[in-house]
Chains A and B, each alone.
Chain A
Amino acid sequence: DTEVTQTPKHLVMGMTNKKSLKCEQHMGHRAMYWYKQKAKKPPELMFVYSYEKLSINESVPSRFSPECPNSSLLNLHLHALQPEDSALYLCASTRGTGTTTEAFFGQGTRLTVV
């Protein structure tokens, strides 16, 4: 199994809603990532978990809250988002803490904030 699975594929939420994005991998990878991608742009790193601990937070607003319940799962909790947060949210994983091996990406969650 070389897949990273993200749910849901599409999400529409109001600015007062609370929702969560989920990501799962069963490759035994020990680093997991959240990226945000706007249209026609490359992905931007948001968070990195390494061995289930948050190792990088790229100064992301607190309305985004990551969680890594175990080595296979990664969540992104969303609360009080703004319309400019609408984007494709990608989850990725790598075998270890370095990135000399390739990152495996999920299909993404298309988030629309209304």
Chain B
Amino acid sequence: AQSVTQLDSHVSVSEGTPVLLRCNYSSSYSPSLFWYVQHPNKGLQLLLKYTSAATLVKGINGFEAEFKKSETSFHLTKPSAHMSDAAEYFCVVSEGGNNRLAFGKGNQVVVIP
């Protein structure tokens, strides 16, 4: 069974500084990995995904993530935080074929002006 660990439930960053959100996963198979963002009272929007192609994945709004199999990690980064990046971020893993997604507990990102 797959599982996801997101440490640092709350992350504060200053506007214009880098953002780093950590995600570690466990999976019995070759997983697909996703990062989703959720603004207050909204649905989840896909930021980026890894599905066994390039290990460095670029997403929307300047976000990117690197898949490291040896470290079972899929950390999310952005070089310069914007006020609009304040939201909840979920790392999600799927093993495929079973219709189940495993969600991390989420990172609440606060951007300080």
Contacts and interface: CB of A to CB of B under 8 A. Distances in A.
Contacts of A88: 41
Interface residues of B, number: 25
B99 A100 contact: no
7 contacts: A33-B99, A42-B90, A42-B103, A43-B44, A102-B46, A105-B43, A110-B41
A53 B78 CA distance: 41
Interface residues of A, number: 30
Interface string B26-61: 000000101010000111111001010000000000
Given A99-B94, A101-B51, A48 B99 contact: yes
Contacts of B51: 100-101
A110 B34 CA distance: 25
B99 A55 contact: yes
A45 interface: yes
A27 to B, nearest CB: 13
Interface of A: 4, 6, 31, 33, 40-43, 45, 48, 50, 55-56, 88, 90, 92, 94, 97-108, 110
Contact of B49 (A48, A92, A102): A102
A83 B28 CA distance: 38
Contact of B99 (A42, A97, A107): A97
Contacts of B108: 40
A42 B106 contact: yes
A62 B43 CA distance: 25
A98 B97 contact: yes
A96 B39 CA distance: 27
B44 A100 contact: no
Contacts of B101: 45, 99, 103
Contacts of A4: 43
Given A42-B90, A42-B103, A45-B101, A100 B96 contact: yes
Nearest to B4: A42
A99 B43 contact: no
